[in-house]
Amino acid sequence: MIARVNKKIVLSLAVATLFGTMLLAQPGGMMKCPMNDKPGAKGMMSPNALFMELNLSDAQKEKFQALQAEAQKIRPEMQKSRKNNMSMSKYVSEKSFDKQKFIDDQIKDMSARIALRAENFEKRYNILNDEQKIEFSKMLKEREERMANRMKNMDYMLKKQKK
Return the pLDDT at 130: 94
pLDDT in tens, 45-78: 566 777 878 888 999 989 988 988 888 888 887 7
CA 29 → CA 15, 37, 71, 123, distances in Å? 18, 12, 24, 29
Q: Rounded to the nearest 10 degrees, what angle do helices 58-86 and 99-127 cross at?
A: 180
Q: Rounded to 5 degrees, what angle do the CA atoms 150, 152, 155 make? A: 110
Domains in the chain, please, with CATH?
A: 1-40 (no CATH), 46-162 (1.20.120)
Q: What length is written for the chain?
A: 163
1 by Cβ neighbours in 10 Å (0-12 / 13-18 / 19+) ranks as exposed
Neighbours of 102 (CB within 10 A): 15
The reply to whether the predicted model has a pTM over 0.85 is: no
**Nearest CA to 75 among 116, 25, 125?**
116
Q: Rounded to 5 degrees, what angle do the CA atoms 101, 73, 105 make? A: 5
Q: Per residue of the chain (163 residues), what is the pLDDT tens digit?
A: 555 556 666 666 665 665 555 555 544 444 434 334 444 444 455 667 778 788 889 999 899 889 888 888 888 877 777 776 677 888 888 899 998 998 898 888 888 888 888 998 899 999 999 999 999 999 989 988 988 888 888 877 777 777 6
Q: Where are the alpha helices (DSSP H) in 26-98?
A: 41-45, 47-53, 58-86
Asked whether 106 and 81 are in contact (CB, 8 A), the reply is: no
